[in-house]
Structure 1
Amino acid sequence: MDMHGLGFALATYFIWGLLPLYLALLKPASALEILAQRILWSLVFLLAWLVLSGHLRALMRRLDLRLVGLYALAAVLISINWGVYILAVTTNRTVEASLGYFILPIVNVIIGRIALGERLSPVQAAGVLTAAAGVTYLCLGAQSVPWIAFALALSFGFYGLIKKTAPLPAAEGLFLETAILALPAAVLLWTMGMRGQLAMLHGPATLDLLLAGSGVVTVVPLITFALAAKRVPLSTIGMLQYLAPTLQFLIGVFVFGELLTEAKLAGFAIIWCGLIVYLYGLARRTHPAALPG
């Protein structure tokens, strides 16, 4: 196991786990404005990074139709993921969003097995099946189809597959994705401005700074995720992903005061048990002599 890759993955999920707290500070900006602002400010920070590091010219030389097409697909998937997640947090559905990221690891394990031929140990497989049972229990107990959860899981699951196999380094790839999305984002903000629907420059300066800062909190975890995806098996990335929705779940319940029924708590408990089993299996595979059994 690449320990640097593992560190990048843990940093990614810790930042994403705390993201609802940041997004809550962006009200009264709408979900669409926050999405467009994230895209454009991410592009600004990535452009500055590439210019200062001297990598922008090398990226321009590598561009061709196939490369742009691949990252355009990644851009569509990540924009769907961002938009749905922002909508969930700004409409007090953070717990349902966390369910999506509890489903995501299972999606990643399935994709890793089918597309990349990644294998699990028996203990890791038992952990995945336990977590899948918890997700199934939550879905069956829901009074409506948790479309937010499934949209988040599927969009980021396939985004992770693209990042696993994509040829560009992390910052360059993310710059290309945001550059592809920049024009639609700019048109959206211009249209909202013409209709008087923008919060930026029409509220306190702190809100403007926080909207601009959304580029930083977007770029940093996506770069660390891309670095992790290059170094760590997709199935392991998928299971470590449970750390982020656990934090989101706790924030939704204890900070935002969202409703938590006993049935939901039981489903999440089953998922957490599956995570513990999987991580134990991962530790045995990495350091077999240090653990019993």
Structure 2
Amino acid sequence: MHTQRTGNALAAFSFVLWGILPLYYQYLPGADINDLLALRILFSIPFMLFVMLLLRRPLPKLSKLWQDKHSLVMSGIAGLIMCVSWYAFTWAITHDQVLAASLGFFINPLFAIALGVLFLKEKLSKAQSMAVVLGIIGIGYQVLHYGELPWISLIMGSFFAIYGLCKKYIRYDALTSVTLEAVILAPFALVYLAYSFVNLTSTALFTDTTTLLLYIGSAPVTLAPLIFFALAISRTSLTMVGLMQYIEPTLQFLLAVFLFGEVFDQVKAVSFSVIWLGLLLCSLEAFSNLALRRLKTS
């Protein structure tokens, strides 16, 4: 029981850190997302190695990693997919679109449910089916009134869900997997930074020291919640993690509306409300199932 409480606390803390990330990126308005992504990839490697040493996790042997070529390939694919989701998220929160980022994470579970059905042959419960339908209605309502899809939110939500699906096929532990994703992508990041440096097109490399450090700092501030999340997974249930994941987009939503002053008009209010209703149904069902399991085991 104590272990589960610790896991719940770690999971909640990780989602709080993710939720307040927009506060950090307010110091990088209109940031060059290409530079930001490249520097995040490169500096993720020393940071993850430091964390593994701090947690006294032995560094994986190359021969052992090479033995599981399937996981190695999937780690590279997962890294690429995560880059797309992270690119969209970072663009949103550095260009006054925190509400779009919030919506992306609110609809992410709906994409995850759909992928579970398509690739893992999972069956939808009534609440999950209703949530998917309500999610489509919520997005459709925005399209009807704005005349365009909320592309940033959809890219974020879908690619993060695909990233989660890829992780199902990786047999390395969480910290090794995250580190390996950065290692595989590091050569591409180095080539891009070298090219932009030679052609004098880099924003980050030709700015003041403080701004450069903020670019580099994107690695630890985005990886810290991921590490707490990885530590939580082994200590608590996936049901609890699934329920607590709404902490993140809720905090981003509150920051967008009340701190950053983004417009939350009637169209967005209706769209968000319909999606929230679907997520509420899923949450109530999950709570009910969790309570039933506890009664059976007590």
Q: TM-score, normalised by structure 2?
A: 0.82
Does 1:288 pair with 2:274? no
1:76-132 deviation digits (Å, cap 9, x = unpaired): 101111112212222222222322222211001112233334455544554554444
Match of 1:223 among 219, 222, 227: 227
Question: Which residue of structure 1 lines up, in the alignment, with residue 144 of structure 2?
Answer: 140
Does 1:43 pair with 2:38? no
Does 1:55 pair with 2:63? no
Question: Which residue of structure 2 lines up, in the alignment, with residue 100 of structure 1?
Answer: 104
> Tell me, what secondary structure is at the counterpart of 1:148?
helix
Question: Which residue of structure 1 lines up, in the alignment, with residue 257 of structure 2?
Answer: 253
1:41-81 deviation digits (Å, cap 9, x = unpaired): 11110122334535224465222432321111101101111
Which amino acid in the other structure matches residue 26 of structure 1?
A: L
Q: Which runs of 5+ in 2 are unaligned?
A: none
Is contact 2:197–2:205 with CA below 8 Å preserved after alignment? no
State the identity %.
Answer: 33
Distance 2:66 2:36 in 1: 29
Is contact 1:26–1:210 with CA below 8 Å preserved after alignment? yes
Deviates more, 1:279-288 or 1:50-59: 50-59
Is contact 1:105–1:239 with CA below 8 Å preserved after alignment? no
Is contact 1:99–1:245 with CA below 8 Å preserved after alignment? yes
Match of 2:22 among 20, 23, 41: 20
Does 1:151 pair with 2:160? no
Is contact 1:124–1:282 with CA below 8 Å preserved after alignment? no
Change (3 A) 1:57 1:109: closer
> Tell me, what secondary structure is at the counterpart of 2:261?
coil
Shift of 1:214: 1.5
Change (3 A) 1:142 1:238: farther
Shift of 1:143: 2.3
Does 1:89 pair with 2:93? yes
Deviates more, 1:122-131 or 1:165-174: 122-131
Is contact 2:88–2:155 with CA below 8 Å preserved after alignment? yes
Change (3 A) 1:241 1:129: farther
CA RMSD between the two structures? 3.1
Shift of 1:158: 0.8
Question: Which residue of structure 2 lines up, in the alignment, with residue 116 of structure 1?
Answer: 120
Q: How many matched pairs? A: 290
Shift of 1:5: 5.7
Change (3 A) 1:144 1:130: closer
Which amino acid in the other structure matches residue 157 of structure 1?
A: A
Q: TM-score, normalised by structure 1?
A: 0.84
Distance 1:195 1:220 in 2: 33
Is contact 2:142–2:267 with CA below 8 Å preserved after alignment? yes
Distance 1:236 1:112 in 2: 18
Query: For residues 171-190 of structure 1, what are the structure 2 equivalents within 5 Å?
Result: 171-190=175-194
Is contact 1:59–1:172 with CA below 8 Å preserved after alignment? no
Distance 1:239 1:138 in 2: 26
Distance 2:149 2:139 in 1: 13
Change (3 A) 1:238 1:106: farther
Which amino acid in the other structure matches residue 249 of structure 1?
A: F
Is contact 1:95–1:248 with CA below 8 Å preserved after alignment? yes
Shift of 1:170: 1.0
Shift of 1:226: 4.7
Distance 2:14 2:24 in 1: 15
Question: Which residue of structure 1 lines up, in the alignment, with residue 71 of structure 2?
Answer: 67
Match of 1:162 among 157, 162, 166: 166
